[in-house]
């Protein structure tokens, strides 16, 4: 059999585990910020429609955060893009070319969304109906981005389609429409985005507990409710996705592959933990601590999901390519230089973060532990 | 070929040209502009100048939008575009330089964070700490330029890497340093131009001291740029410079860039010496536009310098690996590619075969009949034999083209496809246009590209005719004369007249 794509001309510059590990970790961070941007836009729109003062307050909190979420979603999108091109270049480039115009339009959609996000964040008060229009622009653009990404990253794992698709449309106006798991996959990402964004809403609610306890309590509950709803629904969608895969793929996560099964079980465990903790925080004397645990569990769920996704891709591409068997000629010196620079930059960025915190001190209010800071069961 | 070619009928090169021009302009400005911001901020706080500070604050908002939204995303856009248009070369650059890209990414991350903190903490941090944030922004932005510059320079002068395969040889290549210095100067120039433009449009009117300062930012680096560019050109291997110089529009680009530099210098001098009497708004706007054109042409020129390659000595401009060429020439492009529906040229499939070959080997730079170097009308106005001859010998022609990556029969198919896909252009049989069609693709009369003037010096038209009758005795790469007798005699007379201008004037 002729391989559907020919190998790259250079060897891998580092062992695959290193490239893969860095790629998946940065991708998890990408997803977290992307989720706040995408889910946050949707929630902000919902709040804007509901329109009471407390809704608008929560919506404004999201709108102000969107520029940051977007900036970091982009910054942390670049890194996994680099590593996926190193590891899976022959599949990635080919799939991108097959859908080229729609892939390239991502850039336009991002510019549009990003501009509208700044418009919202800086003009929120002055806008009225404009808010909804701008939010709709952001939401539709970001959905477009996610939709094309999902098409690209599923198509990439279907090398057998490449030749036929190319010969049918060398101009690239097509998508991976025949993919059976595309719909559950998209829904899974969308609900995940709402879940993470609603945790963000809840976190902002917590921060308001001291100064505006009423708003803070309401906002925390609102976020927690959205989180619960979307996460429970997402479990169903996740099962739909999983069992929509061919048997030899889903069975990997059901015991056929130890590592895959551990990741899957861990992710589910953390998701349930997050669900429980988010609600335990209500009515706890130390809501902040419990919330931090809940948010950490949610983050670990995302990390687990990212590694599941990677496992699935590896399994799908196994007949065509095995990264572990690819020729490697490691540039250890350069990798070490990267490590050193990365650590130096982390120090610098910690310094920047501390400056930013100093610039925006937490609002004055009753001291920790006093009545106003707690959830009252009367809510 | 490893990758399919994304076929854009109007020419995929446009896409990269537009995105890249916007991106390089903004990204260089983002560096110089960052430095200018912190330096002016220092001035403002030294003199307790609230007006200047307020102005800088507003400017930093514009700056944030420009760098984060347009700058970063057009950067992503370039990456997307080259992945689509030159996947083979992109893959090589990504694999070879993965850690350099990763380092560049770290700087980008720090840069993103620093500019956000800088913008949002005006008046919330003590001035010194705020300036530190600005310096962190500038430092990381500049270091990301250092990383990317090495990779861009590598494409033109891979130097010792071709033999050693070592990353360090690849990065510290012959044009890395001159190119970095040139880019640094450009950063300053653009920062000066943008600041001047911003000043011109302040409500309170431009402040003369700041106008002078931004003029210095333009003038001093501009004055040193020619020398640095000379150093840069000297670092390019001469054979590479020669190929580029034969690209017909090379001179236009070079002249545009030089003209823009000179004009900016003149206008800057006019503003400087007129002491506020000239219309600063118009001047500043024109200077900024000139900067865009000049810098855009210079970048384009740099891309053309590496023709016929994308990575000199490694990958041709149409994505063909240098090492794969012999196989393609003997086995054929269609037979070896995964992306062709036709595997060998036959009489029945000639047009389809030709189209597929055109897409794979030529569509990166040519169109069939659109604005970007259309080949259809040109070849349709030539006879089939001559057209096929040209298609098979692309590397001999002006244009810095890669060698034809297939068999002679495949070249005939391309020529056939192009000839039937377009209407012939109107042609005249006067000597000059016959020369352009039949000789000018491979020769100039007096320039540096296989000049012909000296061959016909002191000859008569009859001698020229006999040269035309016997072209293949000069070089087997030259086609036999296949034009008409009228064209032949017109060309012969023109050749002789062009080669002996003095005699023409005397008699
Ligand atoms: C904020 C706008 C963005 C949204 C909504 C978004 C959404 C998504 C989604 C839904 C996926 C998962 C696709 C799937 O597996 O089915 C994804 C993956 C990915 N995104 Fe983004 N994205 C955004 C911006 C970006 C940017 C700007 C970049 C790069 C410059 C990027 C790089 C990536 C990469 C590399 C992956 C997959 C990596 C891998 O599979 O290893 N994204 N994105």
Residue B326: Cβ-neighbour burial (10 angstroms; 0-12, 13-18, 19+): exposed
Give B-chain residues touching A103 at CB under 8 angstroms. Answer: 80, 84
Q: How crowded is residue B25: how many other Cβ atoms within 10 Å of its Cβ? A: 22
| Average confidence (pLDDT) over A157-185 | 92
Distance from the Cα of B430 to chain A's closest Cα (Å) equals 41
Give A-chain residues touching B108 at CB under 8 angstroms. Answer: 75, 78
Distance of alpha carbon A193 from alpha carbon A213, whole angstroms? 27
pLDDT of A365: 56
pLDDT, tens digit (0-9, with 9 covering 90-100), for A15-47? 999 999 999 999 999 999 999 999 999 999 999
| Average confidence (pLDDT) over A97-123 | 96
pLDDT, tens digit (0-9, with 9 covering 90-100), for B164-207? 999 999 999 999 999 999 999 999 999 999 999 988 888 777 78
CB contact under 8 A, B321 and A356: no
Do the beta carbons of residue B425 and residue B380 sit within 8 Å?
Answer: yes
**pLDDT over 70 (residue B33):** yes
Give A-chain residues touching B74 at CB under 8 angstroms. Answer: 107
Do the beta carbons of residue B365 and residue B374 sit within 8 Å?
Answer: no
pTM over 0.90: yes
pLDDT of A378: 42
**pLDDT over 70 (residue A325):** yes
The residues that bridge with B321 in the sheet, in sequence order, are: B315
How much of chain A exceeds pLDDT 70, in percent? 94
How much of chain A exceeds pLDDT 90, in percent? 80
CB contact under 8 A, B98 and A13: yes
Query: What was the ipTM of the complex prediction?
Result: 0.94
Q: What domains, with CATH codes, occur in chain B?
A: 12-316 (1.20.1630.10), 322-421 (1.10.760), 431-503 (1.10.760.10)
Q: Does A56 contact chain B (CB < 8 Å)?
A: no
Give A-chain residues touching B95 at CB under 8 angstroms. Answer: 8, 10-13, 86, 89
Give the residue among B117, B321, B282, B196 at the shortest CA–CA distance from A348.
Answer: B117
Distance of alpha carbon A328 from alpha carbon A343, whole angstroms? 25
CB contact under 8 A, B121 and A355: yes
Closest residue by Cα to atom 13, ligand 1, is: A150
CB contact under 8 A, A356 and B110: no
Distance A109 CA to ligand 1 centre (A): 13
Residue A357: Cβ-neighbour burial (10 angstroms; 0-12, 13-18, 19+): exposed
pLDDT, tens digit (0-9, with 9 covering 90-100), for B429-458? 899 999 999 999 999 888 778 899 988 988
Give exposure, B489-501, as e/b (b: 16+ Cβ within 10 Å): bbbbbbbbbbbbe
Distance of alpha carbon B157 from alpha carbon B136, whole angstroms? 31
CB contact under 8 A, B70 and A111: yes
Do the beta carbons of residue A85 and residue B97 sit within 8 Å?
Answer: no
Mutate which of B5, B23, B69 to disrupt the A interface (most A C-beta within 10 Å)?
B69
Tokens at A189, concatenated:
């990402």
Tokens at B414, concatenated:
């391309």
Give the residue among A290, A321, A325, A358 at the shortest CA–CA distance from A159.
Answer: A321
pLDDT of A7: 72
| Average confidence (pLDDT) over B311-327 | 94
Distance from the Cα of A150 to chain B's closest Cα (Å) equals 16
Distance from the Cα of B103 to chain A's closest Cα (Å) equals 5
Q: How crowded is residue B331: how many other Cβ atoms within 10 Å of its Cβ? A: 12
Q: How crowded is residue B130: how many other Cβ atoms within 10 Å of its Cβ? A: 20
DSSP string, B404-442: P-S-HHHHHHHHHHHHHHSPPPP---SHHHHHHHHTTTT
How much of chain B exceeds pLDDT 90, in percent? 75
Q: Is A23 in the pocket of ligand 1 (CB under 6 A)?
A: yes
């Amino acid at each position: 059999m002729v391989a559907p794509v020919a190998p790259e001309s250079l060897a891998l510059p580092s062992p695959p585990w290193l490239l893969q590990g860095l790629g998946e970790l940065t991708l998890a961070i990408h997803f977290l910020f992307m989720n706040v941007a995408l889910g946050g836009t949707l929630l902000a729109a919902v709040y804007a429609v509901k329109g009471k003062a407390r809704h608008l307050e929560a919506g404004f909190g999201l709108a102000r955060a969107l520029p940051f979420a977007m900036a970091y979603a982009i910054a942390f999108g670049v890194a996994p893009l680099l590593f996926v091109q190193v590891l899976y270049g022959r599949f990635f480039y080919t799939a991108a070319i097959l859908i080229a115009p729609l892939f390239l339009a991502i850039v336009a959609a991002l510019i549009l969304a990003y501009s509208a996000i700044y418009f919202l964040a800086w003009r929120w008060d002055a806008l009225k109906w404009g808010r909804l229009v701008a939010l709709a622009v952001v939401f539709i653009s970001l959905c477009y981005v996610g939709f094309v990404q999902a098409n690209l990253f599923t198509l990439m794992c279907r090398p057998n389609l490449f030749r036929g698709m190319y010969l049918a449309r060398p101009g690239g106006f097509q998508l991976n429409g025949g993919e059976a798991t595309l719909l559950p996959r998209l829904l899974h990402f969308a609900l995940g985005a709402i879940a993470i964004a609603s945790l963000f809403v809840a976190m902002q609610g917590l921060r308001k507990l001291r100064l505006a306890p009423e708003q803070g309590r309401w906002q925390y509950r609102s976020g927690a409710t959205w989180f619960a709803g979307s996460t429970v629904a997402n479990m169903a969608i996740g099962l739909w996705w999983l069992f929509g895969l061919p048997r030899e793929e889903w069975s990997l996560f059901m015991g056929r592959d130890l590592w895959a099964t551990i990741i899957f079980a861990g992710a589910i465990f953390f998701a349930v933990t997050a669900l429980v903790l988010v609600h335990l925080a209500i009515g706890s004397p130390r809501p902040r601590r419990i919330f931090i645990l809940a948010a950490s569990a949610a983050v670990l769920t995302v990390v687990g999901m990212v590694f599941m996704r990677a496992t699935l891709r590896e399994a799908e591409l196994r007949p065509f390519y095995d990264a572990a068997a690819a020729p490697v000629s490691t540039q250890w010196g350069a990798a070490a230089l990267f490590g050193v620079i990365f650590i130096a930059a982390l120090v610098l960025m910690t310094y920047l973060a501390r400056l930013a915190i100093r610039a925006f001190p937490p609002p004055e209010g009753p001291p920790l532990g006093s009545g106003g800071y707690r959830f009252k069961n009367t809510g | 070929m490893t990758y399919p070619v994304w076929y854009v009928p109007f020419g995929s090169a446009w896409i990269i040209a537009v995105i890249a021009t916007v991106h390089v302009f903004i990204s260089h400005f983002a560096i110089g502009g960052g430095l200018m911001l912190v330096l002016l901020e220092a001035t403002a706080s030294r003199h307790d100048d609230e007006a200047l500070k307020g102005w800088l604050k507003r400017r930093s908002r514009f700056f944030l939008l420009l760098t984060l939204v347009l700058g970063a995303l057009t950067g992503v856009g370039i990456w997307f575009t080259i992945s689509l248009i030159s996947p083979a070369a992109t893959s090589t650059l990504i694999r070879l330089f993965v850690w350099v890209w990763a380092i560049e990414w770290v700087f980008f991350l720090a840069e993103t964070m620093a500019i956000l903190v800088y913008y949002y903490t005006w008046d919330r941090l003590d001035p010194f700490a705020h300036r530190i944030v600005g310096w962190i922004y500038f430092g990381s932005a500049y270091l990301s330029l250092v990383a990317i510059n090495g990779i861009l320079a590598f494409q033109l002068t891979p130097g010792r890497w071709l033999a050693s395969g070592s990353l360090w040889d690849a990065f510290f290549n012959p044009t890395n340093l001159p190119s970095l210095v040139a880019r640094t100067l450009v950063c300053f120039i653009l920062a000066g131009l943008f600041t001047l433009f911003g000043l011109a449009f302040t409500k309170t009117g431009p402040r003369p001291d700041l106008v002078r300062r931004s003029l210095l930012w333009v003038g001093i680096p501009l004055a040193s740029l020619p020398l640095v560019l000379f150093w840069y050109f000297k670092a390019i291997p001469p054979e590479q410079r020669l190929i580029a110089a034969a690209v017909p529009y090379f001179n236009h680009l070079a002249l545009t860039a030089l003209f823009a530099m000179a004009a900016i210098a003149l206008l800057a001098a006019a503003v400087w010496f007129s002491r506020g009497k000239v219309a600063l708004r118009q001047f500043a706007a024109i200077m900024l536009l000139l900067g865009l054109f000049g810098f855009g042409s210079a970048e384009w020129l740099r891309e053309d310098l590496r023709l016929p390659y994308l990575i000199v000595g490694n990958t041709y401009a149409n994505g063909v690996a240098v090492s794969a060429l012999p196989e393609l020439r003997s086995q054929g492009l269609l037979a070896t590619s995964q992306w062709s529906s036709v595997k060998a040229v036959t009489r029945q499939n000639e047009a389809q075969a030709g189209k597929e070959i055109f897409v794979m080997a030529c569509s990166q730079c040519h169109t069939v009949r659109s604005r970007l170097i259309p080949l259809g009308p040109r070849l349709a106005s030539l006879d089939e034999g001559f057209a096929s001859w040209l298609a098979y010998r692309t590397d001999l022609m002006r244009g810095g083209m890669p060698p034809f990556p297939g068999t002679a029969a495949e070249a005939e198919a391309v020529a056939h496809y192009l000839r039937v896909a377009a209407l012939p252009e109107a042609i005249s049989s006067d000597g000059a246009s016959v020369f352009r069609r039949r000789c000018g693709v491979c020769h100039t009369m007096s320039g540096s590209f296989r000049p012909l003037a000296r061959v016909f010096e002191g000859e008569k038209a009859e001698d020229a005719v006999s040269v035309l009758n016997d072209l293949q005795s000069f070089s087997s790469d030259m086609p036999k004369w296949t034009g008409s007798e009228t064209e032949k005699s017109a060309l012969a007379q023109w050749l002789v007249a062009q080669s002996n201008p003095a005699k023409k004037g005397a008699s």
